Amino acid sequence: MIKIGLTGGIGSGKSTVSNILREQGIAVIDADIIARDVMEKYIVITDKIKSTFGEKFIDGSGKLKRREFGDYIFSNKDKKNIYEDIIMPFIKKEVFEKIDELHKRGEEICIIDGATLIESGFYKYTDIIILVWANKKTQIFRVKERDQLTENQIIDRINSQMSLEEKKKYADFVLDNSNTLDETKKQLEEILNKITMNL
Ligand code: ADP
């Protein structure tokens, strides 16, 4: 089974491309959903966040205040790294279990969709990396529409991630999603054809 890593930057269109792949019946493992689910599954993560970052990020029912915590860690690279060190082992375990399941089911390709695939080092476990790229202006414009964040909050989030230019160095394929969805679909088809040609 070919493991294809799909990554991008905030608002570059990774989720959009991931949905197109799903519609085509391709198995997609969403590492971002897994990252959210592990919080529920392993209470120890919230405990660790509480002891590391303070009680102010935990609400009355013991759950993480996602928005406040997001603002806090996304504005500081060191804090974000500490958070990722806490959560990453749990995410890895779950992703590997899902890869195993798909392999046993006889899938020929699977997509591992993750915003921090490269930063986390997880890309090393994939065979091919597709980077969904968009120019910065487009990223900011689309996130503004989607998330009701201010321009400064968006820029903070973009700057807290590895730059798309840096990510390009790791990518086998760069899909330019700065234009229409039709153009994106066309590029995606070409990329998939190249990948599956050797199956
Ligand atoms: P990411 O997952 O990389 O953060 P999304 O896939 O959610 O990005 O895309 C960000 C926003 O831009 C979404 O609201 C999405 O619907 C929109 N979008 C994505 N690609 C395009 C495109 N090619 N044309 C127009 N809007 C797009």
**Residue 135, ligand 1, Cβ within 6 A:** no
Q: Answer yes or no: are the C-beta atoms of 117 and 5 closer than 8 Å.
A: yes
3-state secondary structure of 59: coil
161 lies in which domain range? 2-196
Which protein residue has the closest C-alpha to ligand 1 atom 6? Answer: 13
Predicted structure pTM score: 0.86
On whether 160 is known to bind a ligand per the annotation, the reply is: no
Sign of the Cα torsion 86, 6, 110, 16 reads positive
pLDDT tens-digit profile of 77-128? 899 889 989 998 999 999 999 999 999 999 999 999 999 899 888 899 999 9
pLDDT tens-digit profile of 176-193? 999 999 999 999 999 999
| Distances 106 to 27, 83, 100 between C-alpha atoms, Å | 11, 35, 10
Residue 113's φ and ψ, nearest 5 degrees, are: -100, 115
83 vs 35: CA distance, rounded Å: 12
Give the residue among 45, 14, 2 at the shortest CA–CA distance from 146.
14
Ranked by mean pLDDT, the top range of 54-63, 72-81, 185-194 is: 185-194
Domain count, the chain: 1
On whether 14 is known to bind a ligand per the annotation, the reply is: yes
Query: What CATH number is given to the structural domain containing 115?
Result: 3.40.50.300
**Residue 33, ligand 1, Cβ within 6 A:** no
